[in-house]
Amino acid sequence: MIGAIIGDIVGSRFEFNNYRAKDFKLFGPGCDFTDDTILTIATAEAILNGGRYREAYVNWARRYPRPKGAYGASFARWISDPVPYNSFGNGAGMRVSPVGWAFEDEAKILEEARRSAAVSHDHPEGIKGAQAIALGVWILRRSGSKEELLERLGSWYDLSGSVEEIRKTNRFDETCQVTVPQAIVCFLEAESFEDTIRNAVSIGGDSDTIGAMAGALGEAYFGVPSDIKAAARGYLPGDMIGTLDRFEAKYGPTI
């Protein structure tokens, strides 16, 4: 799940100031964690506490309110009245990566991804986006096969475009049906974890969330270099580090 957090932090300063090239410094002024990281940590805590997703999202979002948690308007209202609102926004996909690490059975991965999304993002496309990222993480950490990922998720989304093609025409969009396949393509074309993040930022659009979803896949396939992990951890407060460490100790590669 550190891969999603890194993608969020690196992409944060480009979300509303897109940079359509790959020659940027990974970490620099303007970088910070956003709601993508807050809610990814919340997903990890929910899993550690038996799957209470709604409770974890509300608690962490209230702990880190705006402006630190730059939640979308609908989700910001949800925090006060946590009833599903038929959303297909990419908030369902950006927070789900811990599910891909915590469970071993494919049916369980899909069900837990559905549950994590449905407390807020209960539109079929919102659930599909969460399931796609969680399943992708699961496939990659088990088989290490981009070909299997492409075969499986290529029946869910059109993954035929290239990073270059997306970069030329992309516009800001916060929906799962646009950004989830973009994130998958950014990973599929990448040659390393760092290259995954650079691809994700370079296409513009919703840079932090595309970065988080692509970074989740990149971690599962490539792993994450220790210096990039260390740099990202430096942005996180102690309560997030504690949850991250507990989750990684139980389910994932060590930090």
Residue 134 CB neighbour total at 10 angstroms: 29
Residues 33-55, mean pLDDT to the nearest whole number:
97
Task: Give the pLDDT band of residue 229 (cuts 50, 70, 90).
Answer: very high
* Per-residue confidence (pLDDT) for residue 51, from 0 to 100: 87
The pLDDT-based confidence of 253 (bands split at 50, 70, 90) is low
pTM, two decimal places: 0.97
Q: Give me 9's structure tokens.
A: 């932090």
State the pLDDT at residue 255. 37
DSSP bridge pairs for 89? 175
**Average of per-residue pLDDT across 203-231:** 98
C-alpha closest to that of 163 among 198, 193, 136, 134? 198
Percent of the chain with pLDDT over 90: 95
Q: Is the peptide bond before 67 cis (omega within 30 degrees of 0)?
A: yes
d(CA 23, CA 30): 17
142 Cβ neighbours under 8 A, 6+ residues apart: none
Three-state DSSP state, 237: coil
- Confidence at residue 254, expressed as pLDDT on a 0 to 100 scale: 40
Distance CA 5, CA 9 (A): 6
| Chain CA centroid to CA 190, Å | 17
Return the pLDDT at 221: 97
8 Å CB contact between 127 and 113: yes
Q: Side chain identity at 72, as an amino acid letter? A: G
pLDDT in tens, 60-87: 999 999 776 689 899 999 999 999 999 9
C-alpha–C-alpha distance, residues 47 and 146, integer Å: 27
**Distance (Å, rounded) from C-alpha 142 to C-alpha 20?**
33
What is the separation of C-alpha 247 from the centre of its chain, rounded to a whole number of angstroms?
Answer: 16
Domain regions of the chain by residue span: 2-22+32-248
DSSP letter for 30, please. Answer: T
The answer to whether residues 198 and 189 touch, using CB atoms and an 8 Å cutoff, is: no
pLDDT, tens digit, 9 for 90 and up, residues 100-136 = 999 999 999 999 999 999 999 999 999 999 999 999 9
Q: HEC string of 119-132?
A: CCCCCHHHHHHHHH
How many Å apart are CA 137 and CA 141, to the nearest integer?
6
Amino acid (1-letter code) at residue 93: G
Hey, what CATH topology would domain 2-22+32-248 get? ADP-ribosylglycohydrolase fold (1.10.4080)
**pLDDT at residue 68 in the model:** 63
Query: Cβ of 28: how many Cβ atoms within 10 Å?
Result: 9
User: Is 1 in contact with 252 (CB distance < 8 Å)?
Assistant: yes
- Structure-block tokens of residue 49: 């506490």
Confirm if 252 and 101 have CB atoms less than 8 A apart: yes
